[in-house]
């Protein structure tokens, strides 16, 4: 997992970043509040110069963020930043401020997709640094959103997603009783391990063997796609109105199981979002999680889709 600090104008400047790192330990990455790139041939001045001073950011992985729609100025600034020792430059295409949007910058650039595409093609080809983008994405009805229980008021987020017509998937890790307040019967999919399943079922699951948990989940959530993961054994699945089935785990020599569950859930949901049926999605997810355990780390162990498709089982 990569932990990054998102920028907030007037708050997360170089003083904040330094104090944050000293008090809580440095994050993996800090994005600066946006600065305007200088005219071609000129250098950074004023607040931007102070914000980007390598001495002020020493010891931190800092990514400067630029606000512009001028490709030449962006590329020129990227060259300056490279000479200052930076390894990445970020484009702000997400600021919603009225004064920014009115100039067609920040989120205002999103209203001109052809111009934005041409800009990105140009700067990515000419920039001496890798280019990342801060932006805002919208949602449409029937889009899929997956939630885990790692944010405050997950139950409220579930309700908000359902109200917007989103196909909502819950992977309740870590489980707590607050989730029982959510309208779980309206979920698109529920992905649980044995412990989480017992948490949802409560007294009803007392004394019930693992094999019986899926039947109880089916009874409680009849119109929800259900996935019950069973670790190294595999996973059970059930699509609404269909018979339950079992997908065995793909056997690989495990080096590090960190993130295997997240890999499984992510690949399963991505496959469902692409229109695949539940069994196909789970088979793809099983292969992806099997590959992930052969590598150390969490996010770094997640395989590319091409690797998953190439794995013969």
Taking the C-alpha atoms of residue 58 and residue 71, their distance in angstroms, rounded to an integer, is 28
One-character DSSP codes across 129-188: S-EEEEE-----TT-EEEEES-STTHHHHHHHHHHTT-EEEEE-SS--GGGGGS-GGG-S
Taking the C-alpha atoms of residue 38 and residue 161, their distance in angstroms, rounded to an integer, is 42
Beta bridge partners of 4: 29
Residues 6+ apart with CB under 8 A from 6: 12, 31, 134
Q: Which of 142, 176, 211, 262 is catalytic?
A: 262
Q: Do 32 and 51 meet the contact criterion of CB atoms below 8 Å apart?
A: yes
Q: Under DSSP, is residue 55 helix (H, G, I), strand (E, B) or coil?
A: coil
Concerning whether 262 is annotated as a catalytic residue, the answer is: yes
Cite the active site residues.
262
């Amino acid at each position: 997992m990569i932990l990054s600090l998102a920028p907030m104008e007037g708050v997360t400047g170089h003083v904040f970043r330094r104090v944050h790192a000293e008090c809580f330990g440095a994050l993996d990455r800090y994005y600066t509040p946006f600065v305007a790139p200088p005219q071609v041939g000129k250098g950074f001045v004023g607040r931007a110069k102070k914000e980007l001073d390598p001495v002020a950011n020493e010891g931190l992985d800092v990514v400067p963020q630029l606000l512009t729609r001028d490709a030449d100025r962006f590329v020129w600034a990227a060259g300056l930043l490279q000479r200052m020792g930076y390894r990445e430059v970020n484009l702000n295409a997400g600021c919603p401020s009225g004064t920014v949007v009115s100039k067609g910058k920040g989120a205002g650039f999103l209203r001109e997709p052809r111009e934005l595409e041409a800009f990105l093609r140009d700067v990515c080809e000419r920039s001496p640094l890798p280019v990342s983008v801060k932006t805002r994405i919208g949602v449409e009805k029937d889009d899929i959103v997956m939630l885990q229980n790692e944010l405050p008021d997950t139950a409220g987020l579930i309700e908000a997603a359902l109200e917007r017509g989103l196909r909502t998937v819950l992977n309740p890790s870590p489980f707590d009783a607050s989730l029982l307040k959510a309208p779980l019967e309206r979920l698109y999919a529920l992905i649980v391990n044995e412990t989480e399943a017992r948490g949802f079922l409560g007294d009803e699951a007392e004394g019930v063997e693992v094999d019986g948990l899926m039947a109880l989940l089916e009874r409680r959530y009849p119109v929800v796609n259900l996935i019950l993961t069973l670790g190294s054994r595999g996973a059970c699945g059930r699509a609404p109105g269909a018979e339950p089935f079992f997908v065995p785990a793909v056997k690989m020599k495990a080096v590090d199981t960190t993130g295997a569950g997240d890999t499984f859930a992510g690949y399963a949901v991505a496959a469902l979002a692409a229109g695949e049926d539940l069994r196909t999605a789970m088979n793809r997810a099983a292969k992806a999680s099997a590959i992930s355990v052969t590598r150390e780390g969490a996010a770094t162990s997640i395989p590319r889709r091409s690797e998953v498709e190439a794995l013969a089982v």
